[in-house]
Homo-oligomer: A and B are copies of this chain.
Amino acid sequence: MQRIAIDMDEVIADAYHRFFEWYERDFNCRLDPDLCRGKYLRDVVPADQRTHVMKYAHTDGFFKDLLVMPDSQEVILALSKKYEIFIASAAMEFKTSLVHKLEWMNEHFPFIPWNNIVFCGSKSIINADYLIDDHIRNFKGFEGQGILFTSPHNVHEPWSPRVNNWREVAALLL
């Protein structure tokens, strides 16, 4: 059985939405999603706000109760009949996220057992046939096939195969 490793943030969990929410709370201003295309969020905000927003992902609660990416639950459930599914999140950078990420998985993807959840740093350690991720840097050293999941920050990056949503993942892999 082939194995698919799947990233969390921006692939199954909507961390952008949380960033926008907190930014609006702190600066009373709504970021324009169109301005985020091809950029990291920290580079979209005014320079004097950068230090503040770069703390978000390190702040307790940022990864709690994130929205689930559309169609990800149904498609991953269908994939799990045909492939071995692992969730692989580079969570080690964000110490406060670990428990929230685990709770989130239990809540929204209860059909994925804890044995199949991995928190790591470098994804070169992942032994899988496919890795669905929004960061090309995570494909470096990964020995399987990287599948780029479109996110505003990566729209201009050249990579194939690329999928724009979970329906396209289903079309590619089911």
17 A–B contacts from the bound complex (CB under 8 Å): A3-B125, A92-B114, A92-B117, A92-B119, A93-B114, A98-B119, A99-B99, A114-B121, A116-B121, A116-B125, A118-B120, A118-B121, A118-B125, A119-B119, A119-B120, A120-B120, A127-B143
Size category, A interface: 20 to 34
Q: What is A's interface to B at a CB cutoff of 8 Å?
A: 3, 5, 86, 88, 92-93, 95, 98-99, 102, 113-122, 124-128, 143
Chain B positions within 8 Å of A99 at CB level:
95, 98-99
- The CA-CA distance from A30 to B167 in the complex, in Å, is 59
For residue A132, give the distance in angstroms from its CB to the closest CB of chain B: 15
Can you tell how many copies of this chain the complex includes? 2
Which residue of B has the minimal Cβ distance to A141?
B127
Residue among A3, A95, A125, A127 facing the most chain B CB atoms (10 A cut-off): A125
- The CA-CA distance from A113 to B124 in the complex, in Å, is 14
Which residue of B has the minimal Cβ distance to A92?
B114
- Check B121 against A113 for contact (C-beta < 8 Å): yes
Given A95-B102, A98-B102, A102-B98, decide whether A122 and B126 contact each other with a Cβ distance below 8 A. Answer: no
